[in-house]
């Protein structure tokens, strides 16, 4: 279910009618429900997308007239699952952001964690911490700006370490 919107958008780009999209999604859910176990599914969105793709292909094959755009969309379809390298880079970036957040002052850190990581609303945070919503907004703004600035500084330092000395001198001029 968390991937339904993504699969529906892809099906809509394939020029299926809303009714056909509903039927494909229903049949995909039925196929998944009939499985004896889902333990073998490592990447649910890829699995659901593959089922929907196969069902759509069957549906198009049964039709008398097939829109060219629908077939070309199927041919260009690519699983949007990130590569292992992209997953590792995302994990490293996430850990780096958490480390930066950990350096914020206690109150600011807690507000940023609740808002940006745990997804609480400003009202929920204000009630929980006994603050005004305006104070929560200010702490989020301050914390996000501090995280962004620390990220940019780290990127600049990393780039400086990677650039040969001769290039650094040439860039100054």
pLDDT of residue 76: 53
pLDDT at 81: 65
Which residues span the domain enclosing 45? Answer: 4-76
Q: Are 158 and 89 found together in one domain?
A: yes
Q: Do 63 and 124 share a domain, yes or no?
A: no
What's the token pair of residue 8? 């529906």
Query: pTM for this one?
Result: 0.48
173 in a domain, yes or no? no
- Specify the pLDDT at position 79: 55
Examine the fold and report which residue of 55, 76, 97 is the final residue of a domain before the chain moves on.
76
In a domain, 91, yes or no: yes
What's the total number of domains in the chain?
2
Residue 12: inside a domain: yes
Instruction: Write down the residue that tokens 């859910």 correspond to.
Output: 29
Do 133 and 153 sit in the same domain of this protein?
yes
Residue 72 shares a structural domain with residue 12: yes
What's the pLDDT score for residue 58?
76
**43 and 114 housed in the same domain:** no
Q: Name the stretches of the chain with pLDDT < 50.
A: 65-66, 69, 71, 170-173
């Amino acid at each position: 279910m968390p991937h339904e919107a993504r699969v529906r958008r892809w099906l809509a780009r394939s020029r299926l009618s809303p009714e056909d999209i509903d039927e494909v999604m229903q049949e995909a859910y039925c196929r998944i429900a009939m499985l004896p176990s889902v333990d073998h599914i490592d990447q649910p969105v890829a699995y659901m997308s593959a089922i929907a793709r196969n069902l759509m292909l069957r549906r198009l094959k049964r039709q008398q007239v097939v829109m060219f755009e629908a077939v070309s969309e199927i041919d260009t379809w690519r699983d949007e699952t990130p590569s292992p390298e992209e997953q590792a880079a995302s994990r490293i970036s996430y850990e780096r952001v958490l480390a930066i957040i950990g350096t914020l002052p206690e109150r600011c850190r807690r507000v940023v964690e609740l808002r940006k990581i745990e997804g609480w609303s400003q009202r929920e945070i204000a009630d929980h911490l006994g603050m005004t919503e305006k104070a929560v907004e200010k702490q989020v703004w301050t914390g996000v700006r501090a995280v962004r600035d620390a990220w940019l500084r780290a990127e600049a330092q990393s780039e400086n370490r990677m650039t040969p000395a001769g290039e650094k001198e040439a860039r100054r001029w």
